[in-house]
Structure 1
Amino acid sequence: MIKNRNIQKKQKYFRFIPPLSSWKNAYCENESRIAREGKEYILGLNMSENVGMSFEERAALCALNRIFGFEPKVGLKIIGTLESAMAVFKERTEVGRILGACSRARYASLITESAFETSAIELEALERNGCRFIGIGEKGYPALLMECDDPPLGLYFKGISRPEDVFGGLPQVAVVGTRGLTYYGKDWCGRIVDAMSKSNVKPLIVSGLALGVDVTAHIAALDSGLPTVAVMATGIDDLYPSRNKNVGERIASTAGCALVTDYPPGTGAVRINFLRRNRIIAGICRATILVESKIRGGGMMTARLAASYGRDVYALPGRIDDPVSQGCNLLIRENVAEQIGDLGELVSRLGLGRTDLRLKSDFKEEVASCYRGQFPDDEYEDIVRLALLIKSHRGVSIDELCQRLKWTYSRVTRLATTLECDGFISVDLLQHCHAKK
């Protein structure tokens, strides 16, 4: 018999995590039936009716999420057949019959009283640490995620706002991309988020807390007053990577923001976990923006998943010879993503109304007004010309500038140093120049 909430606490906290190999190896003949019946269960959920989800039902969902984390369709099919998560544990003998003779039959042996008790203890530990578990169908579970055919059975949540306040009001937009972010990508990532912050309808920015585009999007959102959600590929107790720990803590302590994951506490950073995480980013949001990505990468996977869910996808075009722009350019060529050009049009297409795009004055005019009257006419024209060339050829080297302009090395470096000192460009250790405005 399943014990109630007042079960005796175990001295040793037992963690039960299913084998990762189930992600690839668990397909069988009744795949389509499982997907169909699982989807029917999702459609039958009424979130308003599940506001008062019992502790036992939530604990049962938490336990099943541990077991079926890599195959949520199977878990949904079983719950749908037995009509509740708690019934799965009360009628464990029925699970084998429902699954049939296939590779998934092994799951029947994992649905145990011990698994339920472990999750019940875990829920109480979460509450003591300012976290919670949101079961599918419960108020606060992201509505758009429930429209997908493979939503997680629940989400771990950490934030000072209620889940329903984070996910229930604002439109959600994902901003994702490569960890190897360039100056161009960082600049445009900031511009895109800034434009959305100045729109009539303020969105919730969703990303993955990774290095590069993810953390840039989170910081840009926080700095511009937009709420942001970080969907993690680890347990709610492990902010990864450690370099972004401060950003994660800032998100968790800011109103309207949250840390979210479907992985149990204690789960570390494993490559396959990031692949599973990406579907949640895509599923939560009405649109996904890919800033920079190679042909293969997590950002590309998220964008393609979003397209498969019927969501809008946008991509920032880049140089055809730039590896971190090739993924974006490919999605645009394949008509999977719409090209980002005019930010006002992007904001409008996202359904956010209009935006005040008086973000930055014209680069040429800024440079010209800064040096007008300070140099002889010929040198004034040269420094403006140099600035515009660097602006239009991001990452151009000093040597390339010498060749293009037919100037001496000393002349180029002198004028470039002037532009750098005045904040118009930056020059890295390899003497590549990048416009900063």
Structure 2
Amino acid sequence: MEVHDNTPPRYYPSTALSLDELAYWIAFSRVSGIGPVSFKRLLDYFADDVESAWQADSKALHAARLNQHTIEQFLKQRPKIIPQQELERLERLRVWVITWRDESYPPLLKKIEYAPPVLYVCGNLTEDDRHYTLGIVGTRKMSTYGRQVTERFASELARSRITIVSGLALGVDTVAHTTALDVGGRTIAVLACGLDVIYPAVNHDLAKRIVESGQGALLTSFPLGVKPESGNFPARNHLISGLSQGILVTEAPPKSGALITATSALNQGREVFAVPGGIFSPGGAGVNKLIQDGAHPVTNVNDIVNNLNLFMLSQQVEAQVILPENAEEQKLLSLLSHEACHIDELIRESQLPANTVSAVLTMMELKGMIRQVGGMHYVLSET
């Protein structure tokens, strides 16, 4: 099944690559065995000349530090892949491509280990989608309680201009996407297959709605034609958490793909939130174990919004547009990191007046540049 987008995207900057270069990036993404690490080695060895890398012989590929098995697989698959035809096929289906080289590549995703070199997108992405995102995941076999919880969190977050990221699966994923759309919010569905294969098929209409509504996008790291094989889902989960500032698990049994996503989020330095479940409920066992292991227990949206410093999102967006950075902001930014720093230390190191530092920090927090983590300690925001 295919989802066609007949409207131009509201946010899709032109690619940093020429179309010829882009065709080879796409071609490499089709080669089984060449992932982010191998592709980075090729770019480094061939000085970003992807056409030369594509046409390289075995000796040059060895010199680029590809292992023998990868080289054999590449040389076997290469004759069947015609780069320009791959690009033309994507254009016919109105599937966009974002690469490592593009400014439109999601900044949160770019920070993670093994970020995909190529992303395939159908629909549109906005500036908010690049910065203000939360993943919502959970069980496919959802209870009434799980539905109620998911609807409440998804609706309130979406109304707050936070983009809901999920995996288009049945159950929690479906409710999260649908609720975001119903309240006029935005959502990104991450697939474990190519964008010409909607899985599960029963969610074809939901996928179509996400694209045609202009309220979101379908996104994947898998090229066209790739089927939703079981081995693809961990990579899909890795992408969901990588795109998100945090992950919310609303309901999940002990053995659930949602817990894999939560683990991936922790490995990526993301926040993990879990809604407590009943101790006798199968769907509560997984979320309760997450809480025991250190996930943030949440009972309302403010628990998430305050943790991620999103409580003044609309004001932050407006302030970023209206208020430019100044010398004082630049000075304090140079002193801040992701490790908490007390205001007294900032005053001492910056040699600025205390009242100036206090006022500038307040403005920087309003703009979403920094956040206070308690006791007048400040850190850089993740966005």
> Which TM class, normalised by the smaller chain length?
0.7 to 0.9
Out of 148, 155, 160, the residue aligned to residue 112 of structure 2 is: 148
Which runs of 5 or more structure 2 residues have no equivalent in the other structure? Answer: 1-12, 314-383
Is 1:129 matched with 2:93?
Answer: yes
Is 1:348 matched with 2:314?
Answer: no
Shift of 1:70: 7.0
Shift of 1:99: 2.7
Is 1:89 matched with 2:60?
Answer: no
**C-alpha deviations, 1:286-328, integer Å up to 9, x for none?**
1111111122221111111011000111011111222222111
- Given that residues 28 and 34 in structure 2 are in contact (C-alpha distance below 8 angstroms), is that contact kept between their aligned partners in structure 1? no
Q: Distance in 2 between matches of 1:197 and 1:241?
A: 24
User: Who is 1:253 aligned against?
Assistant: 212
User: Who is 1:41 aligned against?
Assistant: none
Out of 173, 178, 198, the residue aligned to residue 134 of structure 2 is: 173
- Given that residues 300 and 327 in structure 1 are in contact (C-alpha distance below 8 angstroms), is that contact kept between their aligned partners in structure 2? yes
User: Who is 2:3 aligned against?
Assistant: none
Q: Give the 3 Å change call, closer, same or farther, for CA 351–251 of structure 1 in structure 2.
A: same
Q: Return the structure number with greater relative CO, CA threshold 8 A, min gap 6.
A: 2
Three-state SS of the structure 2 residue aligned to 1:289 is: strand
User: Who is 1:196 aligned against?
Assistant: 157
1:215-294 aligned at under 5 Å gives the runs: 215-294=174-253
TM-score of the aligned structures, taking structure 1 as reference length:
0.64
Is 1:183 matched with 2:144?
Answer: yes
Q: Give the 3 Å change call, closer, same or farther, for CA 301–259 of structure 1 in structure 2.
A: same
Which of structures 1 and 2 has the bigger CA Rg?
1
Three-state SS of the structure 2 residue aligned to 1:174 is: strand
Q: Give the 3 Å change call, closer, same or farther, for CA 346–100 of structure 1 in structure 2.
A: closer
Is 1:324 matched with 2:283?
Answer: yes
- Given that residues 290 and 299 in structure 1 are in contact (C-alpha distance below 8 angstroms), is that contact kept between their aligned partners in structure 2? yes
Shift of 1:101: 5.2
Q: Distance in 2 between matches of 1:100 and 1:352?
A: 43
Q: Give the 3 Å change call, closer, same or farther, for CA 239–231 of structure 1 in structure 2.
A: same
Q: Distance in 1 between matches of 2:273 and 2:121?
A: 28
Q: Distance in 1 between matches of 2:107 and 2:248?
A: 20
Q: Distance in 1 between matches of 2:300 and 2:275?
A: 11
Q: Give the 3 Å change call, closer, same or farther, for CA 267–198 of structure 1 in structure 2.
A: closer
Q: Give the 3 Å change call, closer, same or farther, for CA 104–251 of structure 1 in structure 2.
A: same
Q: Distance in 1 between matches of 2:227 and 2:74?
A: 26
Q: Distance in 2 between matches of 1:195 and 1:101?
A: 49
Which runs of 5 or more structure 1 residues have no equivalent in the other structure? Answer: 1-48, 356-437
Q: Distance in 2 between matches of 1:230 and 1:103?
A: 33
**C-alpha deviations, 1:60-82, integer Å up to 9, x for none?**
11111122567322222222332
Q: Distance in 2 between matches of 1:247 and 1:273?
A: 21
Q: Give the 3 Å change call, closer, same or farther, for CA 227–198 of structure 1 in structure 2.
A: closer
TM-score of the aligned structures, taking structure 2 as reference length:
0.72
Q: Distance in 1 between matches of 2:128 and 2:47?
A: 28
Q: Give the 3 Å change call, closer, same or farther, for CA 267–105 of structure 1 in structure 2.
A: closer
Shift of 1:104: 3.5
Three-state SS of the structure 1 residue aligned to 2:101 is: coil
**C-alpha deviations, 1:199-247, integer Å up to 9, x for none?**
3xx1111101000000100001001111101001121011111211111
Give me the identity figure in percent.
30
- Given that residues 31 and 78 in structure 2 are in contact (C-alpha distance below 8 angstroms), is that contact kept between their aligned partners in structure 1? no
Q: Which amino acid aligns with 1:347?
A: V
Q: Give the 3 Å change call, closer, same or farther, for CA 68–78 of structure 1 in structure 2.
A: farther
Q: Distance in 1 between matches of 2:21 and 2:111?
A: 21
Is 1:106 matched with 2:72?
Answer: yes
- Given that residues 38 and 66 in structure 2 are in contact (C-alpha distance below 8 angstroms), is that contact kept between their aligned partners in structure 1? no
Q: Give the 3 Å change call, closer, same or farther, for CA 100–237 of structure 1 in structure 2.
A: closer
- Given that residues 273 and 297 in structure 2 are in contact (C-alpha distance below 8 angstroms), is that contact kept between their aligned partners in structure 1? yes
Say how many residue pairs are matched. Answer: 299
Three-state SS of the structure 1 residue aligned to 2:30 is: helix
User: Who is 1:338 aligned against?
Assistant: 296
Q: Which amino acid aligns with 1:75?
A: F
Q: Which amino acid aligns with 2:193?
A: T
Q: Give the 3 Å change call, closer, same or farther, for CA 272–114 of structure 1 in structure 2.
A: closer
Shift of 1:275: 1.8
Three-state SS of the structure 2 residue aligned to 1:67 is: coil
Three-state SS of the structure 2 residue aligned to 1:352 is: coil
Q: Distance in 2 between matches of 1:346 and 1:100?
A: 43
Q: Distance in 1 between matches of 2:302 and 2:248?
A: 15
